[in-house]
Structure 1
Amino acid sequence: MTKLKLKRGSPREEFPSLDGNYTYMAQVLDLHMYTRQFNRATDSGVIFDDIIRPGLEDPGTRTGPKTVGCLAGDAQSYILFCDFFDRIIEAYHSYKVVSDITQVSDFNYDNLKGGDDFDRAYAVSCEVSVTRCVEDYCFPTHCSRGERRQLLMLAKKVLDQLGEEFPGRFYSIDDLNQEMKDQEIIMDAPPASLIKIGVGRDWPDARALWVSEDGTLAVWVNMEDHLRLVSSRNDGNIQEAFAIICNGLLKIEALYKKLRHPFIWKPHLGWVVSSPAEVGTGLKASVTVKLVHLVTHKRLDDILDRLRLRMEINHLSGMHKISNQQTIGLTEVELTQLVVDGVKLLIRIEKRLENNGGIDDLVPAQK
């Protein structure tokens, strides 16, 4: 463990004000924990104040979705500051981190049941994404310009080698803006909150997007994490989107390993990325569903909690995104299955409400 001697006061003098802070960081952090972490630093120089800065810059609101309010600066952060991160993971995912329980992955998309048969009058689009970080490099909040540029060159080398199954094109952000200029679509600089915490530094230097020729797979490089793979569709066929992610990810992972730059994996945490909200699998599966009656029902929050899902409500459009909250403790297939089964049930409930029927018999048991 490395110790830094910065010109700071005592932990009590430096303890941040958490009044009006609605993040999980503020829920977990107290002076005792802050004091224990205060003089610690990872080998690359990440200190605890770096970890909690996202939640101080963006404290959230009482009624808004509750965020974790923290980001790791490197993989060692999860080990050195494990007292803090383990509690964050437990609070956010309702999953207790235990050193002798290993996170298991399952990329066999044939194990997913359903997801290609949603009622199209309700399920209008879907997306599956997965994040990964590369061994021996700091995460975006803390990496140097040189590291970011090395990660870009590595990603370009890998994505150029994807082969016949996934031919595609690699764009820098400047290239992308130039190409889409005629369509009056420009990628804006990241919000001030990401610049303040370091994720958006030097924008758009060494940021890029790779897109497959058929448009079914996109890979973002050096955004909130080293890599984010995304497969999105203008229908609800999440089974197909999941299959594309699994195929693409396994091929990309093999190429990174071949270049001796594997993705970061810890047995008790699974795939390690910058946000504790995405450790384990790094997977987010979502279906956008047209719901009118259910979103105003008094039991909505209870139903979502029982299904272990979250919903981003858009009253203006009537289209609401349903996704998994948890990313650890279950496999990729199991997490996607939660979304598939949950969306099917929510559509059934919506149909019942349309006919002024009761829904008590459809409310699920806690998963």
Structure 2
Amino acid sequence: MTITSDTDTVAADTTAAAAAAAADSAAAAATDDDDVGAESRKARGLPPKGKGKGKKKKKKTKSRTDSPKSLDLSGLPGDQGWPAADADAATTLPDDYPPLVDGPRALARKHLTPLVWSALGSEVTPEGDSISRMLRPVLADPSRTPGIYVGAASSYSAFAAFLRPLVAEFHGVEPGALAPDVDAWETAELAKMNHVENPMVKRIQLSAVRNYADLPFSPLATAASRADVLARAVEALGSGWSFEAVPLPDAVSDDWATLAADALIPGGYLPPQQTVGMDEGYPDGRAVFFGTDRHAAETAVVWVNHEDHILVVVRRTDGDLVAATNSIHAILDLLSHAHAFARDDNVGYLATSPAQVGTGLSVGAWVQVNELDRKAVKAICAKFACRARKLAAQAKDEPGTSLYAVSNRTRLGFSPATYVLTVSCVVAELVTTDAMTAFMTSGDASALTQS
């Protein structure tokens, strides 16, 4: 208890009163100043104080952090735990983090977050695959997107926290969303398509990649596994279609040189593919099979043990997209009759490159345009999520013409039949728009007969 005298009490009261008086005086002075200021501002035609444009508020910036809750952890092996989520765990790179180059298209760098690397960076699958091994191509050539090669079907589940969001962003789909039916090759719309040969469509080409579920993919392939893939292909192709093997690139072959130049078959192993050993033991275990009627309107080719176990290419020079679709579907059915292809319920068929995951299907057409410029062609393709690549000019006796290769941009998000219909729509709009432009420019109605 504190004891005070009467004198102390009076002094305290006096001090409090003085403080209160001083506060009242200051408040009054402030009010007077405001009133004077208000009158002065009014006389000068200015708005009252405090009602003009105030100071800009600073925008709050959110720091990017990736917590385990925001990641798909369903594929993590065993009881692998996540590191403690301290304040810097999500943004600070560990000392052993791979030297990935960052950038707007650097998907591997974006999705290999510090948390994912800390949890999975040291993991190795029974087949011998690891994230470090997958990254070899993009480390050798940072310009490649996505720039990684997966060594086995099991890797897509073992490293799901890294691969699933990467695959989703590359193909423009929602992470975790179920893929459409990747085996839907026929639809009512496709069945109604009537083939009418168009002189502006110079070539139709479909290609598809597949891998067998029970064998390692090309980056981890052994001599025995390649021999197994080759034996399966020989057995399957001999049971329904007429195919014959041709010499590999180390032999002299006019057919080979022509078809390789036309991109019907791969032209060798690129440096990124060599970083994961795809070229080891070449040419053992590799083969290329051609349909025996390859000099007719349709050419069918099956390449065994290149980037993927199987690459099927079907090309037609008469523009019959439906016939090409039926052929590639039938060949894939033959090759999977006795042995299942690797697939996942979320994304569809699995491939060595995440860029091929889903349908694994590329639908392409070479289209001649006479009036449209590159910008107009690309704009039409972009409406259908397709891409266009300008090819070399045609023969000198056709001045002013351009040839474009148009194809679907992604492999995941739609069924095979939808991709075929989409490219068909692109071709139709390109041909029609080009013909209408020619008619509006020259007034020659004959241009419309080609559309």
Q: TM-score per shorter chain, which class?
A: 0.7 to 0.9
For residues 198-248 of structure 1, the C-alpha deviation after alignment (integer angstroms, 9 at most, x for no partner) is 222222221101112112321110011101111112232222111111222
SS at match of 1:294: coil
Instruction: Judge which range, 109-118 or 197-206, deviates more.
Output: 109-118
Q: Pick from 309, 314, 329: which aligns with 2:386? A: 309
Contact conserved, 2:184 with 2:417, CA < 8 A, in 1? Answer: yes
Partner of 1:191: 270
CA distance 1:354–1:92, shift in 2 (3 Å): farther
For residues 19-75 of structure 1, the C-alpha deviation after alignment (integer angstroms, 9 at most, x for no partner) is 568443345444343333311222211010112222222322xxxxx7321121100
Contact conserved, 1:12 with 1:31, CA < 8 A, in 2? Answer: no
Q: Where in structure 2 are the equivalents of 1:289-308 lying within 5 Å?
A: 289-297=367-375, 300-308=377-385
- Gap regions ≥5 residues in structure 1: 4-9, 61-65, 358-367
Kindly provide the amino acid, as one letter, of the partner of residue 197 in structure 1. Answer: V
- Give the whole-Å Cα distance in 2 for the aligned partners of 1:182 and 1:267: 38
Contact conserved, 2:289 with 2:301, CA < 8 A, in 1? Answer: yes
| TM norm structure 2 | 0.67
Partner of 2:160: 82
Q: Where in structure 2 are the equivalents of 1:90-105 lying within 5 Å?
A: 90-98=168-176, 103-105=181-183
Is 1:332 the counterpart of 2:416 in the alignment? yes
- Give the whole-Å Cα distance in 2 for the aligned partners of 1:262 and 1:20: 38
- Give the whole-Å Cα distance in 2 for the aligned partners of 1:240 and 1:286: 14
CA distance 1:134–1:172, shift in 2 (3 Å): farther
Contact conserved, 1:109 with 1:246, CA < 8 A, in 2? Answer: no
Kindly provide the amino acid, as one letter, of the partner of residue 89 in structure 1. Answer: V
Partner of 1:360: none
- Which structure has more relative contact order (CA 8 Å, sep 6+)? It is 1
| TM norm structure 1 | 0.81
Partner of 1:265: 343
SS at match of 1:351: helix
Q: Where in structure 2 are the equivalents of 1:166-181 lying within 5 Å?
A: 166-171=241-246, 173=248, 177-180=251-254
Partner of 2:283: 204
Q: Pick from 345, 348, 351: which aligns with 2:435? A: 351
- Give the whole-Å Cα distance in 1 for the aligned partners of 2:193 and 2:385: 18
Q: Where in structure 2 are the equivalents of 1:104-143 lying within 5 Å?
A: 104-108=182-186, 112=190, 113-114=192-193, 116-117=195-196, 119-120=198-199, 122-143=200-221
- Give the whole-Å Cα distance in 2 for the aligned partners of 1:280 and 1:123: 27
SS at match of 2:290: strand
The two structures, once aligned, show a CA RMSD in angstroms of 3.0
CA distance 1:208–1:109, shift in 2 (3 Å): farther
Contact conserved, 2:180 with 2:415, CA < 8 A, in 1? Answer: no
CA distance 1:2–1:313, shift in 2 (3 Å): farther
SS at match of 1:201: coil
SS at match of 2:95: helix
Percent of aligned pairs with the same amino acid: 22
Q: Where in structure 2 are the equivalents of 1:57-68 lying within 5 Å?
A: 57-60=140-143, 67-68=145-146
Contact conserved, 1:2 with 1:42, CA < 8 A, in 2? Answer: no
CA distance 1:105–1:355, shift in 2 (3 Å): same
- Gap regions ≥5 residues in structure 2: 1-76, 80-92, 261-265, 395-401, 442-451
User: How many residue pairs were aligned?
Assistant: 336
